[in-house]
Amino acid sequence: MAVFAILNSITHVAALPMGGYSPGLVTSLVLFIPVGLWTVYVCYVRERLGWGNFGKTLLVAAIYSFVLLQGISLANSGTLSSDAMQGLVMLADGAICGYLWYLIGKRTATNQ
């Protein structure tokens, strides 16, 4: 989740030159980027969980971010017009990616 927090924060910062202030910009800069970078440092540098595991978590975070942003885009365009469909897409996205992160963590724990 720390890697996702960093990726999500980058989207808020990247939106700044395109359209001004983005909700979440301040929390991204003050909280999510610093805490996310610290967590990545502790996990992958200090605790040596392996850069292969980092790559896996980055891939899952990228998938999660992509589906999340596509869901928002589809909702804004009216394709996902009902709140229930939007909720189901976001719920499925979180559940699938959460399970993938669980599997990565479980495998990492058994290999140490």
pLDDT digits (tens, 9 = 90+) for 29-73: 999 999 999 999 998 888 887 888 888 888 888 988 888 888 888
Residue 58 and residue 109 in one domain: yes
Is this prediction's pTM over 0.85? no
Residue 7 and residue 42 in one domain: yes
Residue 108 and residue 58 in one domain: yes
Residue 56 and residue 102 in one domain: yes
Residue 42 and residue 65 in one domain: no
The domain tally of the chain equals 2
- What is the domain range of residue 78? 50-112
Question: Could you tell me if 54 and 44 are in contact, meaning their C-beta atoms sit under 8 angstroms apart?
Answer: yes
Residue 26 and residue 62 in one domain: no
Residue 64 and residue 33 in one domain: no
